[in-house]
Chain A
Amino acid sequence: MSKVHIQQLGKVFGTASANAVPALQEVNLVVEDGEFVTLVGASGCGKSTLLRILAGLEHHSSGSVHCNGAAITGPSADRAMVFQHYSLYPWLNVMDNIKFSRRLRVNREDLSSSDVEAASGRADALLDLIGLGKVAKSYPNQLSGGMQQRVAIARALMGQPAMLLMDEPFGALDAQTREVMHDLILHVFKLEKATIVFVTHDVEEAIFLADRIVVFSARPARVLEVLDVNAAIGTDRTFETKESEAFFRLRNHVLHLIRDQTRRASPEMTETHS
Chain B
Amino acid sequence: MPPTPSLGTPVPPAQPSIWGIAARITRTQYWLFAGLGLLSPLLAWAWLSASGLIDPIFLPGPVQVFTRLLSWLVEDDLWGDTLISMYRVMAGFALSAVIALPLGLLIGAFKPVEAVLEPLTDFIRYMPAVAFIPLVMLWLGIGESAKISIIFIGTFFQMVLMVAENVRLVPSAQIEAAQTMGATRGEIIKLVLLQSAKPAILDTLRLTMGWAWTYLVVAELVAANSGLGYSILKAQRFLKTDTIFGGIILIGLIGLLMDQAFRWLHRRSFPWLHAQG
| Real binding pair | yes
Given the known inter-chain contacts A89-B196, A141-B272, please indicate yes or no for A77 contacting B180, CB distance below 8 A: yes
Give every chain B residue within 8 A of A87 (Cβ-Cβ): 171, 173-174, 176-177
Q: How far is the CA of A89 from the CA of B179 in the complex (A)?
A: 13
Residue from the list B176, B182, B184, B273 in contact with A90, Cβ < 8 A? B273
CB closest chain-B residue, reference A103: B191
Contact B195 A81 (CB under 8 A): no
Q: A residues within 8 A CB of B174?
A: 86-89
Number of B interface residues at 8 Å Cβ cutoff, please give it: 25
Q: Which of B179, B196, B277 contacts A91 (CB 8 A)?
A: B196
Q: Count chain A CB atoms within 10 A of each CB in B180, B187, B191 and give the residue with the most.
A: B180
List A8-38 residues whose CB lies under 8 Å from chain B: none
Residue A171 is within 8 A (CB to CB) of chain B in the complex = no
Residue numbers in B under 8 Å from A81 (CB-CB): 176-177, 180
Give which listed residue, A57, A91, A141, A143, contacts B180 with CB less than 8 A: A57
The reply to whether B276 and A75 form a contact with Cβ atoms under 8 Å apart is no
B174-197 CB mask vs A (1 if < 8 Å, else 0) is 101111111110010001100110
**Hey, which chain A residues are within 8 Å of B171, CB to CB?**
86-87
Inter-chain contacts of B191 with A (CB < 8 A):
100, 103-104
B181 touches which one: A85, A92, A104 (CB < 8 A)? A104
* Complexed CA–CA distance, A89 and B173 (Å): 10
Given that A91-B270, A104-B187, A143-B277 are contacting pairs, would A83 and B182 also be in contact in the complex, using a CB cutoff of 8 Å? no
Per the CB 8 Å criterion, the residue count for chain A at the interface is 37
A79 within 8 A of B: yes
The answer to whether B275 has its CB under 8 Å from any CB of chain A is yes
Inter-subunit contact B180/A80 (CB<8 Å) = yes
Q: Which residues of A contact B184 (CB under 8 A)?
A: 104, 108
From 260 to 277 in chain B, residues with beta carbon under 8 angstroms from any chain A beta carbon are 270-273, 275-277
The reply to whether A75 and B179 form a contact with Cβ atoms under 8 Å apart is yes
Inter-chain CA distance A254–B52, complex, in Å, is 87
A142 and B176 contact, CB distance less than 8 A: no
Jot down 12 A-B pairs with beta carbons below 8 A, ordered by A.
A55-B176, A56-B179, A75-B179, A83-B176, A89-B192, A104-B178, A104-B187, A141-B277, A142-B276, A155-B181, A156-B177, A159-B181
Q: B-contacting residues of A (Cβ < 8 Å)?
A: 55-57, 75-77, 79-81, 83-93, 100-101, 103-105, 107-108, 139-143, 152, 155-156, 159, 165
Extra contacts, 13 of them, besides A55-B179, A55-B180, A156-B177 (Cβ < 8 A), are A56-B179, A75-B176, A75-B180, A75-B182, A83-B173, A86-B171, A86-B174, A91-B270, A91-B272, A93-B272, A104-B187, A105-B182, A152-B177
